[in-house]
Structure 1
Amino acid sequence: MSVPAVELGRVVERLRASGCVFAEDEAALIAETARDAAELTAMVDQRVAGQPLEYVVGWASFCGLRIVVDPGVFIPRRRTEFLVAEALRVTVAGSVVVDLACGSGALGAAVAAEREVSLYAADIESAAVRCARRNLDPVGGTVSQGDLFAALPERLRGRVDVLLANVPYVPTGEIRLLPAEARLYEPHVTLDGGADGLETLRRVVAEAPQWLAPGGHLFTETSEGQAPVAQAVMVEHGLEAEVVADDDLGATVVHGTYTRR
């Protein structure tokens, strides 16, 4: 909606007073999204109360795309764009790509925007599955609900060329240290990686060789400190593994390649 400059200024003032560092940018996005004055007021109230901006406006910017994000679904982080960039280096037209523990389906959508692939995604949470379908239906993606690989069609076993697994990796004891927007609004199941943050990843890596095609790739995101352990887990299960990082984004990705012996 078109918002008079005076009213937009009031919105900026309210957002700034509530602690929003980028108040002007956020005000512009909220004004652009709101359909009428009543909705504008309600959205500003939600943001002032601390709700993440992405939930307020209903989408997140990721790899140049507007990804639909519903409340209760993990919000894709900008640092994860590095994981997508690394995956695109080995993704060719016709690849079978799986976005496991997909959340909103942002990773799969970003890959499909750059390559013509056969895309599958899965998540255990029904809210995430509904959201991912909204993002992946337009690119022909198939979204299933279930616990990791159990959700995938059996016909994919041994045929996956690129496996994207941005699984939870925050150690349970450190969730309390996260910013309030994540700690209070995002489901803990999307954040909690167990005692050392790598419990879910270990489950993924243990089964990955059964699903990856010869020469297939597994990409996951970790913290810098967790990366050597994640790399060792991949090697233990028969993958050649490397750690790559982007200092500008503060992103660390562990990349495993499955070479059958």
Structure 2
Amino acid sequence: MMDKLKCLLYIAKLSYKTNATYKQSNLFGIIVNSFWLIIQMYILVAFIKHGISSYTVQQGVGYVILTEALLTITGLSGSLGGIDIDDLIKTGNIIFYLTNPIGLIGYLIGMEVGRVLYYLLWRFLPLLLIGVVALTWYPNVTPMMLLYFVYSIIIGLVIANEIQFIIVMLAIKNRTSMGVVDLIMAIELFFSGGLLPLNIFPEWLYRISLHLPFSSQIYLPISIILGTEGSILKLLILETFWALALWLVSYFVYDKERKKVYVQGG
């Protein structure tokens, strides 16, 4: 067990260093995120001033800041550590990851831990700082709110990667997940609150969206910080349920599809 843990931590370290190599890319990424942050802020503030949203202007500014920051680490549909599993399937190299001591899932966890840690330090926090300084947004949070916020983000990351993992495992049969991933990302962007806060939707759509697993990736953690949802504990329990349910599904699909891996070349 200790050897596997050391291996996982070593993979996470390598993943972090790999992402840290592209410093210029990260700088440009921050500039692009900042640009969209400003655009989304003006749009949402306009909605608020015209009575389309129940948020205050301060809450609206906080929402767009946290949205852009969270998008850098959640990746919405999950990043699976930045590994191109489609390519591994096509080349047949996925066999190595299915048969190594920590398994494909262990390797993906290590890669994702390294990726998330890098983007947390060098994209999430800088964007948060830019928002606080440039847009003068100062959240009033308690230690319990921060605890709920961190827990929600972690579970949201787990859910995002589970969804991506299920899609890719099912794609083994067709040897590609192209198209399907793009569709799921579009659905997640809409239902996660990545475009607009879910409470802007009509009441029936808002209620449905709130109870889908996608809301845990953007809307729920932001609502915790802004204090705009009254049943946070209930939603966190539901989020945990989705994580466990998707884990069972992903384990079943993984166990089934890895036996059917079709090797092309190699």
Q: Shorter-chain TM-score: what band?
A: under 0.3
- Bigger share in strand: 1
- Report the TM-score, using the length of structure 1 for normalisation: 0.24
Identify the structure with bigger relative contact order (alpha carbons < 8 Å, sequence gap 6+).
Answer: 2
